[in-house]
Structures are given as structure tokens and as C-alpha cells.
Chains A and B, each alone.
Chain A
Amino acid sequence: MTTSSVATPAPAKSAPRLRTPRKYSPGRPKRSKLLTALMALMVLYTVVPLIWLLINSTKTQAGLADSNGLWFANDFAFWDNIRDTFTYHDGIFGRWLLNTLLYVVLGAGGATLLAVLGGYALAKFSFPGKRAIFAVVIGAVAVPGTALAVPTFLMFSKMGLTDTPWAVIIPSLVSPFGLYLMWVFAAEAIPTELLEAARMDGAGEVRTFFQVSLPLLAPGIVTVLLFTTVATWNNYFLPLIMLKDPDWYPLTLGLSSWSSQAQTIGGDVIFNLVITGSLLTIVPLIAVFLLLQKYWQSGLAAGSVKE
């Protein structure tokens, strides 16, 4: 990807203010080998655990114990491990994967939808209570999420929602960060004149939103969707307290239960499956981030444009 891609799809108004480094940066700074080498060390720190995971997903349980962590063992069991991960305990891993997808589609999808609608309202409408909403939402962000966990659990328990997918999905629907990002993005990306022209032409608010505004919001939507997806995919605490039935676990909770079962008396030690399962858990998200980097980076850059 090119270095200027952060700037390219940003909303028209802000684009000229972003730098295209090579062309404009003063003196066209010389590339530094030393600085690049230092950054390479940083990359090493970042990727060594991932490489470790990749290498060790090729080992059997026995191979894990008696081989060097950063090199392959004699037994190459990668495909066996993948097969075993999916077949162990009647294929519960596949079930966890589907659960995670369900939570992502409904939770992250719903959160994005609500954030887009709300951000649009904050950016383009004036309505009674607008200031209060903003103050309360931003104030609530400062409340540690986990501090709400116990009362939320008790409330949901009284409503009969615990141990059902809804207990995980409903709290995921609110993303204050998504709301904020959409608000900033919509203010920047949708010219008010365009909305007024549409209204003048007799389009209702719903039609204006879908036909005029929504297409302009696309990069922002992708960004919010990606970040809510990560939040839902990686969610651990919420399912931990809400779910008892392993059939409803997401991948994260399932993996940690596999890992801790080694500690229980008579528990099966399946570290090879924990490692392979971990690899299978992160591959989809990393792929999505790499494939969509142009979009989410532009969305983030737009979020930090200042006047």
C-alpha cells in the first residue's frame, strides 16, 4: 500500500490538509538505516509471539514439552492439530466459532447501526436534549465497564436473559466510541447543503438518510464496524459472567476453559489444541485488518482531523 493512502479516501474537505509526506515534507528527509533498524527490533517484539504460536501449532502435546519453542519439532502435526481442534469434545470448537460469528454479526453489526444513526443525528440535527445526551454518553465512558458487570449480570438474571446469547449481544450494542467517531465523521463528510437540497426536493428524512447520507458515510462505517467487531470477537469478561453453558461460549471463553482444564484433577492436558485453537481464533481478524487497512486507517485519520 502507498504511504498516502491514509489521506486518499478521507472526506473531501479535510483531504488537502493531510500531508503527503514525500512531496511536501521539508527537505525530504533522508532515510535512516539506524532508525529502521530500531524499528525492526520493535517489530521483532511484536511478531515473536505470533511466530511462536505458528511454530508451536505444528507440534503434538509431547513435542511441545521437549522441543525448542522457536523451532519445529520432529513431528509435524499441524493438520492433525487442526482436525483435532475441530473434532475434540464432539466438535465444540466449531460451535464456539459459530457463536462468535453470531455475536459479531448481531452485536457488532447492531452497534454499528446504532452508532451510525446516532452519530448522524448528533452531527446533522438540532433537537431537545442533544447536549444532555452527549454529556451523559461521554461521562459514562469514564465509568469502568467492568464496574457495571455485576449489576448488569443481576439485572439480566432477573430478566431471565443470562445463559442466553442475548446477555452477550445486548450489552455489545452500545459503542460510545463508535457514536463519537460517526458523529465527527458525519459532520465532516455530509455537507448540510446537500441535505437541504434533498429535503427541498421533497425527500423524507428516512430517504435522505439512506440515499444521500449513507453512501458518504461508508469509510466511517467500515472503521466503526471493524472496531466493534474486534471488541465483540475479543470479548471475554462479559461472556464469562453471563454464560454457564459451554454451548454458548465464544471462542475466547472456550479457549480459556481448555487451557484451565489442565489444572483440574483428571483433566485432559490439550495445550496443543489450545495453541492451534488460538491461532485459528486470530487468523480471521488479522486477515480482515490487513485486507481493509485502507478503509479503517482513512476513517481513523478523519476522526482526528482538527479545525
Chain B
Amino acid sequence: MTTLQPPAAAQPRSAPPPARKDRRSWTGWGFIGPFVAVFALVFLAPIVYSVYLSLYRNQLIGGNQFVGLDNYTQAFKDEQFWDSVGRVGLFLVIQVPIMLGIALLVALALDSGRLYGKSFFRITIFLPYAVPAVVATLMWGFMYGTKYGLVGDINSAFGTTLPNLLSPDWVLASIGNIVTWEFVGYNMLIFYSALRVVPTSLYEAAEIDGAGQLRVITSIKLPAIRGAIVIATIFSIIGSFQLFNEPSILRPLALNSITTDYTPNFYTYSLSFNGQQHNYSATVAIIMGVITMVVAYAVQLRGMRKGA
């Protein structure tokens, strides 16, 4: 069983105290029933339907035909698909550590009590989370532009020729910057909330033992919020593999750089809505879902084992 926890959790808590045996009854279902019903409709049913779709193919002659694992064989040989997987893989290996690293440094700075105007920093750095991906991408997209944007302004002011951030060489990094901007504050808040509940007595003991700031961070703070770090990492990995909004909104500004198979999700979307290849699209989505879960699970196992 996977024990993934949603973001706010610092550590998988021990399950809430079990209600007493004598109260075990169906009453609870009255409360959770509505959630379960909608959940089944929008989560479970599509998963099952997706598996069903992936086993069929819509033929011009003969209609919907059972083809077994043919769609999967096709996907494993599909270079377009694997290119897009490689792209998000590269993205995640570079962007996620940068974003989480910055978030962690900011959280530690806030928690150190050494800042002037701490609550101002906390809320301001969090704000981009409230900005829709569409707006964030449009803003940055304009700013990247050599014509309207800041890049153009810098070039004309200093006579420089900065690289075109929307060119094929740079666009992945440009997307990485947008995603970092959007989520650094959110991750910071998760780390910060986790740091807040480290018992003060630990710091007092460390001080008596003569431990310096750095030692307190590496020996107390980081281990204490390891759970939060693992969770933030897993959610960032899932987010990277799902990358869609930013490239799709940026595409009109960077037609030559962002293709409709730029990320696995973009590819799935294009297959389904531009190509009407619903069955193959479902297959690609399933493979991507499995890859995501395997990677997330591996990270979780590794993260929980370290020093445990």
C-alpha cells in the first residue's frame, strides 16, 4: 500500500486514535458516503474506463475492436512519447531541486528568527500560489518577449543581445522559471509549518551542548522535517510529469519551440482532442501514470529509509 500524504503533513501522523470498538457501526458511512460516491465517479470509474479503452482500437472498418496489448506495444516503440518523457525527466531533475532548495532556504531563514519583517516576507513569497498558472504564464511569457518584454527592454537599454528565452534552446528553462515562481512559496510554507512544530526543548538542549546554527539545522531541523521534504518532493515530481498548462499557454508565443507533443500530457491531450485517437491516448496516459507512481514510490521509500 502506498502511504503518500497530502502536502500539509509534516510527517505521516500516527493514525488518529481509533474510536472505541463499541462505537463501530455504519453511522460513519452517513458522513463519508457522499465523498466516496463522487470520488468513485470522478476517480475510480475513469481509471477503470481508461484501462478498458487502452485494450481496444477504433478501426475504420469494424469499429471498436479488442486488440489486447497492441496499444501498449505501440507506445513502447513511440519515439514522440519517449522524447516527451525525456523532456519532463530533464525538467524534473533540474527544476525540482532548485525550487525545493530555495523553498527550504527561505523556510529556514524565516524560522531562524533573524529576519526583520518576517511576516511580510512569509506572505509575499507565498503570494504567487494564488496566481493562476494561466496568468503566471501569460505574465512571464510577455516578459520573456524580445519585442514587448523585459528582455527586449534590456537589449535596447544596454545594447545587449540576450538569448531569446522563447527559442528552442531556452524554452524549457523558461518554463522551469515559471513553475519555480509559482510554487516556491507554497513549498516554503509546507517546510515552514513543519519547522514550527519542532519542540523548542531540542534547540535548548543543542545550545547547552554548544551546537552552532549550522549544526542545529543539519542535526535537528532537517531531520525533523524530513517527512515534509519527502512529501514536497513527491508532489513536485507528480507535478513535473503532469506538466501541461505552462507549455500549452506559452505555445502561441513560442510556436517553433513548443510542439504539441512537448510533454507526455500535452501529447495525450493532442492525441485525444486533435487526433481523435482516444484509445491510444488512454494507453499513453496509463503508462505515464504508472511511471509517475513508480518514481514517486521509489522516492518515498528512499526518503523514509534514510536515517530511519
A304 to B285, CA, bound (A): 33
With A31-B116, A184-B9, A306-B13 in contact, is A256–B27 under 8 Å at CB?
no
Interface readout for A99-139 with B: 1 if CB under 8 Å, 0 if not? 00000000000000011011011111111111001011111
Contact A25 B203 (CB under 8 A): yes
Taking chain A's interface residues, is the majority helix, strand, or loop, or is none over half, making it mixed? helix
Contact A304 B150 (CB under 8 A): no
Contact B2 A138 (CB under 8 A): yes
Contact A133 B181 (CB under 8 A): no
CB distance from B137 to the nearest CB of A (A): 8
With A25-B113, A146-B265, A306-B13 in contact, is A126–B127 under 8 Å at CB?
no
B142-158 CB contacts (< 8 Å) to partner A:
142-143, 147-150, 152-153, 157
Chain B residues with CB under 8 Å of A125's CB are: 19, 23, 25, 27-28, 31
Most chain B CB atoms below 10 A, which of A19, A64, A260: A19
- Select the stretch in B61-69, B165-173, B190-198 that faces chain A: B190-198
A93 to B163, CA, bound (A): 36
Chain B residues with CB under 8 Å of A271's CB are: 142, 148
B254-308 CB contacts (< 8 Å) to partner A:
255, 265, 268-269, 272-273, 278, 281-282, 285-286, 288-289, 292-293, 296-297
Contact A140 B44 (CB under 8 A): yes
Chain B residues with CB under 8 Å of A263's CB are: 252, 255
Contact A45 B181 (CB under 8 A): yes
Interface readout for B20-41 with A: 1 if CB under 8 Å, 0 if not? 1101111111111011101101
Contact of A304 among B116, B125, B130, B194 (CB under 8 A): B194
- A183 at interface (Cβ–Cβ under 8 A)? yes
Chain A residues with CB under 8 Å of B159's CB are: none
A224 to B7, CA, bound (A): 12
Contact A46 B125 (CB under 8 A): yes
A276 to B157, CA, bound (A): 26
Contacts between the two chains (Cβ within 8 Å), count: 364
User: Which size bracket describes the interface of B in this complex?
Assistant: 35 or more
- B94 at interface (Cβ–Cβ under 8 A)? no
Most chain A CB atoms below 10 A, which of B6, B17, B27, B198: B6
- Select the stretch in A32-40, A75-83, A84-92 that faces chain B: A32-40
Chain B residues with CB under 8 Å of A135's CB are: 1-2
With A180-B9, A282-B135 in contact, is A126–B19 under 8 Å at CB?
yes
Contact A64 B148 (CB under 8 A): yes
Contact A154 B228 (CB under 8 A): no
Instruction: Please name the 7 residue pairs, one residue from A and one from B, whose CB atoms are nearest each other, closest first.
Output: A125-B28, A187-B16, A127-B28, A121-B31, A303-B8, A118-B35, A234-B132
Q: List 20 A-B contacts (CB under 8 A).
A: A7-B196, A18-B196, A19-B196, A25-B200, A27-B207, A29-B114, A47-B127, A118-B34, A126-B19, A127-B26, A138-B5, A144-B265, A155-B49, A177-B8, A234-B131, A263-B252, A274-B138, A278-B138, A303-B193, A304-B228
What is the interface of chain B, defined by CB distance below 8 A to chain A? 1-11, 13-14, 16-21, 23-32, 34-36, 38-39, 41-47, 49-50, 53, 102, 106, 109, 112-119, 121, 123-136, 138-140, 142-143, 147-150, 152-153, 157, 181, 184-185, 189-190, 193-194, 196-200, 203-204, 206-207, 228, 234, 238, 241-242, 244-245, 249, 252, 255, 265, 268-269, 272-273, 278, 281-282, 285-286, 288-289, 292-293, 296-297
